[in-house]
A and B are shown apart, each in its own frame.
Chain A
Amino acid sequence: MCDTCGCNVTHGNAHLAEKKNAQGHSAVSVLTDLLSANDRQAAHNRRHFDGHGVFVVNLMSAPGAGKTLLLEATIDALKDELRIAVIEGDLETENDAARIRAKGVPAHQIVTGTACHLDAHMVHDALHHMTLDGLDILFIENVGNLVCPASFDLGQHRNVTLLSVTEGDDKPAKYPVMFRTADLMLLTKTDLLPVLDDFDPARAEGALRALANPAPVLRLSAKKRDGLEAWSDWLRAQLARIRASDPAIRAEIPGRPPRFRPVNPKPATQGV
């Protein structure tokens, strides 16, 4: 997949990859050229979101963990209270955006082609197709993949990583780079727990703590509309925190990949 093919050169950032031999830049001793270009674009996106008072959530998981169903249930639960919009990322089809639009919420589909993750430039392009005015929460549903999306800051305020109980409860141990970035881990499809005797929620949480990640863990079944209140409360609390915060708090940016954090970071601050 992305291991050797360079698929993270997407249509959004190809112009950066191509000017390989650009002159006139000063030498730097950090080799994050392509990703630091992404980081700069992400910071631009974040300023844009902050300017509109929009709380932006990056949803990440393996394919089929239930990101789109979670969004549908969330919209049903909160649409009378909060104005929501969605950016969908998939390799192909408009299917997910169509599902969101059917709920009466604006959605823009990014079709990535072969790229297995979203990057900040693709999100920036998507913003030209939608308005942020009056929005409360923008969800960015990343491409289903537990590897690549972890490395690309989109400008989000929080990362939410879904782990469905039909997967292994050791996923955080298998994908540490991804689960280290989670500001909230959502265990989904929990209505199936009674018939799945090999998934232990406590073990999943233990694997997350072993990554030194203090993120809260919530259980939820979007299909049975179970556990949505705690999830909604978390969203409300984070929205209030982002809106009330001064720039210094926003700059903590817990959702950013750890690699981009300052050398001496403050301890990760968790919301409610």
Chain B
Amino acid sequence: MHELSVCQGLLDQVARVAADHGALGVKHIVVRIGPLSGVVPELLQQAFPLARAGTMAADAALMIEELPVRVHCDACGADTEAKPNRLLCGECGDWHTQLISGDELLLASVELLKEEAHV
């Protein structure tokens, strides 16, 4: 949900990174998303061409790395992988767990185009 405005937030951040580095454009954007962020990668990918139009990233490609859901068990101490709607310990099955990964919404890296670049 909210994928279009999440894209706009993303492109704001990218525009700042590009401006800080004096870049002429943006080539690649890599984001990391967990299923419990509430953002659907496919919808983000669909919204991206709409959001990037007219920005510094108008020709940029978006790569989305999907992160696994992982929990830490308060009962047995194990760190295990889980499903978004079943956050139980994979070792002992207890539900007293803490999410340690899976709700991320991160800008991982940006590849910039620069005037002086000899590529």
Contacts and interface: CB of A to CB of B under 8 A. Distances in A.
A35 B103 contact: no
Given A33-B9, A212-B71, A259-B103, A20 B15 contact: yes
B22 interface: no
Interface residues of B, number: 45
A212 B4 contact: no
Nearest to B36: A177
A37 B71 CA distance: 28
Interface string A228-241: 00000000000000
B13 A31 contact: yes
A210 B6 CA distance: 28
B24 interface: no
Interface residues of A, number: 46
A212 B19 contact: no
A210 B119 CA distance: 52
Interface of B: 1-6, 8-13, 15-17, 19-20, 31, 36-38, 40, 43, 46-47, 50, 55, 71, 74, 84-88, 95-99, 103-108
Contact of A151 (B19, B38, B55, B108): B38
Contacts of B1: 1-3, 8, 147-148, 151
A5 B3 CA distance: 8
A251 interface: no
A210 B38 contact: no
Interface centre among B36, B71, B106 (most CB of A within 10 A): B36
Given A4-B43, A27-B13, 12 more contacts: A3-B3, A4-B50, A9-B5, A31-B9, A31-B107, A34-B5, A177-B38, A210-B95, A212-B95, A212-B97, A259-B37, A259-B105
7 contacts: A20-B15, A31-B106, A35-B2, A148-B2, A173-B85, A210-B87, A258-B36
Contacts of B10: 31, 33
A96 to B, nearest CB: 23
A185 to B, nearest CB: 14
A6 interface: yes
Interface in A145-188: 147-148, 150-151, 172-174, 176-177, 180
A8 B2 contact: yes
Contacts of B12: 20-22, 33
Interface of A: 1-6, 8-9, 17, 20-23, 25-36, 147-148, 150-151, 172-174, 176-177, 180, 207, 209-212, 214, 257-259, 265, 267
Contacts of A6: 2, 4-5, 8, 47
Nearest to B17: A27
A192 to B, nearest CB: 26
B8 A20 contact: yes
A137 B37 CA distance: 30
Contacts of B40: 3
Nearest to A34: B9
B101 to A, nearest CB: 11
A246 B45 CA distance: 44
A8 B98 contact: no
B60 to A, nearest CB: 14
A25 B16 CA distance: 7
A11 to B, nearest CB: 14
Contacts of A25: 16
A151 B87 CA distance: 19
